[in-house]
Amino acid sequence: MTVKSDIEIAREAKSKPISEVAAKLGIPADAIIPYGTTKAKLSFDFINALNTRPNGKLILVTAISPTPAGEGKTTTTVGLTDGLNRIGQKAMCALREPSLGPSFGMKGGAAGGGYAQVVPMEDINLHFTGDFHAITSAHNLLSALIDNHIYWGNKLGIDSRRVEWRRVLDMNDRALRSILNSLGGVSNGYPRQDGFDITVASEVMAILCLASDLKDLQNRLGNIIVAYTRDKAPIRARDLNADGAMTVLLKDALMPNMVQTLENNPAFLHGGPFANIAHGCNSVLATKSALKVADYVVTEAGFGADLGAEKFFDIKCRKAGLSPDACVIVATVRALKMHGGVAKDDLKTENADAVAKGCANLKRHIENVGKFGVPAVVAINRFITDTDAEIQEVMKAAEEMGTRAFLCTHWADGGKGTEALAAHVVEVANSGKAAFKPLYPDSMPLRDKVRTIATEIYRAADISCDGTIEKRFKELEEMGFGHLPVCMAKTQYSFSTDPTKRGAPEGHIVPIRELRLSAGAEFVVVITGEIMTMPGLPRVPAADTIRLNEEGQIEGLF
């Protein structure tokens, strides 16, 4: 049997005009702005008129700690959306937009897989509706305005050693990580150290995803701290009059994008911030709009539940006033085997004991989600090599935690493969069991917030901070940022800060290496390890083989 590739399946998709897909949700044709026939943006006029409607149910899809075996979180989000529609519910999903740059490094798109995908896949993985390009422009306009201000006399007294705002490109380009700019003489400015991050790492991306409307967007952009003076007074984007022009550049990008699943169900794809130095969720505007037009909204968060779900709850839901009704934790037998100590090359051999052992990871995530008052359900994303005995171990683990696991075959079967899960999710979401609460109150000091996450979620014994970090915590409190949530940048592969510690390690120490203030996005980034904000290309990049074939179709991208 030949298994079809994602792109082959996507090309066979019978997409409907996006206006028809929107009509399913009662969205009229004049409420959407078409980008081609299968992509559209939702107009602000329509969004603004939604306020008085009741909200649908919000379902978060998260996962066990990621392993190289793969979990299929996006695939499950799409599959569950199709399953919900199949059992007669008005459901849609709200996902992140993928980044362009990485597509030219490693092969593989980010729009689901198998028969659980959103389309048009090629567009989604390339320029899509231009949101990320708009973010690149807005970010780099601010960068240019900083150096321009210094060039023309530096009235604000920016300390050029303390410019914290770098530049961005949506490209994997290691040569730009660290640069010296403004070389070449008097007319090019004052040389200083600088560098580029990839666009998705921009604070502008995080802001776009947290903004409630254009006004809030502009206010947050204005709040960005770009540099400090010699006596360490913050310089904000507003001080450079950059917030208005940046908002103008982002006005279309702030409108949620609508596409469809392979089964012609509606999907919003909007925003895609990093899941380490940012909160890793699609936009608040997309999620909120989805809740107004659909009865069930399935959304996802980055990485495993220790990072993605925690940030979804503690940052996005807290700030946007969202209240999730259920949480689906995606697991695969293969990944659980790896958490149980099996090497990647041995995954094909049946090993129910390893699965049982690896379920320690799953169980802790289930328990953690419970700490936010959200009922968890487990989705087993089936692989061909999974055996019944292995699957039973996952079912058992879920039951031991007071919940249920469902075998899902959406990758092979589309929405048909998640019907049982969908039915149960509907039941849970309507059970009244959910009583969402963030893990810590706004009023808790920043250092305690970090410690709470470390001990409650990561099950660490404690955090460790050197003098500089302790001082920085105090500084941030004194500057008036003590009420912000914290955004943890930790390895996604382990509950600890050691990526090789799979399963459910405990009692470890979480060393805090650095604190970064995102004053516009309104969180404090807490860095516990090496964070790469500008990826490089591999020795043989995907770009090598990406091309148009004789039929004008894209080869090599997926």
- Is 416 catalytic? The answer is no
Residue closer to a second copy by CB (options 214, 412) is 214
The CB-of-410 to a second copy minimum distance in angstroms stands at 29
Catalytic choice (91, 201, 206, 275): 275
Q: Which of 281, 251, 287, 253 is nearest to 267 (CA)?
A: 287
Q: Which one among 159, 164, 252, 477 touches a second copy, defined by CB under 8 A?
A: 252
Q: Does 96 participate in catalysis according to the annotation?
A: yes
**8-state DSSP, 312:** I
Per-residue interface string for the shown chain with a second copy, residues 158-197, x marking contact by CB under 8 A: ---------x-xxxxxxxxxxxxxxxx--xxx---xxx--
Distance CA 368, CA 456 (A): 8
CB of 512 to a second copy, least distance (A): 23
Spell out, one character per residue from 34 to 73, where the chain touches a second copy: x when CB under 8 A holds, - when not: xxxx------x-----------------------------
CB of 215 to a second copy, least distance (A): 9
CB-based contact 361:345 (threshold 8 Å): no
Interaction of residue 154 with a second copy, rule CB under 8 A = no
For a second copy, the closer of residues 128 and 312 by Cβ is 128
Which of 76, 247, 361, 381 contacts a second copy by CB under 8 A? 247
Q: Least Å distance between CB 43 and a second copy? A: 10
Residue 303 designated active-site: yes
Among 248, 286, 280, residue whose Cα is nearest residue 267: 286
Do residues 393 and 331 lie in contact, with contact meaning Cβ atoms separated by under 8 Å? no
73 catalytic? Reply is yes
Q: Residue written as tokens 């540099």?
A: 227
Is residue 110 among the annotated active site residues?
no
| Smallest distance from a second copy to CB 121, Å | 13
Active site residue 165: no
Residues 409-448 that bind a second copy (CB under 8 A): none
Write b or e for each residue in 187-212: b if 16 or more Cβ atoms lie within 10 A of its Cβ, otherwise e. Answer: eebeebebebbbbbbbbbbbbbbbbb
Q: Which stretch binds a second copy (CB under 8 A): 86-94, 238-246, 331-339, 367-375?
A: 238-246
Touching a second copy, residues 16-35 (CB under 8 A)? 33-35
Do the beta carbons of residue 340 and residue 91 sit within 8 Å? no
Active-site residue among 372, 383, 406, 473?
383
**What track of x and - describes contact with a second copy for positions 526 through 555 (by CB under 8 A)?**
----------xx-x-xxxxxxxx---x-x-
State the number of binding residues for a second copy (CB under 8 A).
75
Q: Find out whether 244 and 138 touch, Cβ atoms under 8 Å.
A: no
Three-state secondary structure string covering 402-437: CCCEEEECHHHHHHHHHHHHHHHHHHHHCCCCCCCC
Q: Print the SS3 string covering 486-531.
A: EEEECCCCCCCCCCCCCCCCCCCEEEECEEEEECCCCEEEEECCCC
The Cα–Cα gap between 459 and 504 comes to: 9
CB of 3 to a second copy, least distance (A): 25
- Please give the order of strands across the beta sheet that includes 523-527: 486-489, 523-527, 514-518
Chain positions 75 to 104 lying near a second copy, rule: CB under 8 A, are 100, 104
- What are the residue numbers of the active site? 73, 75, 96, 107, 275, 303, 383, 411
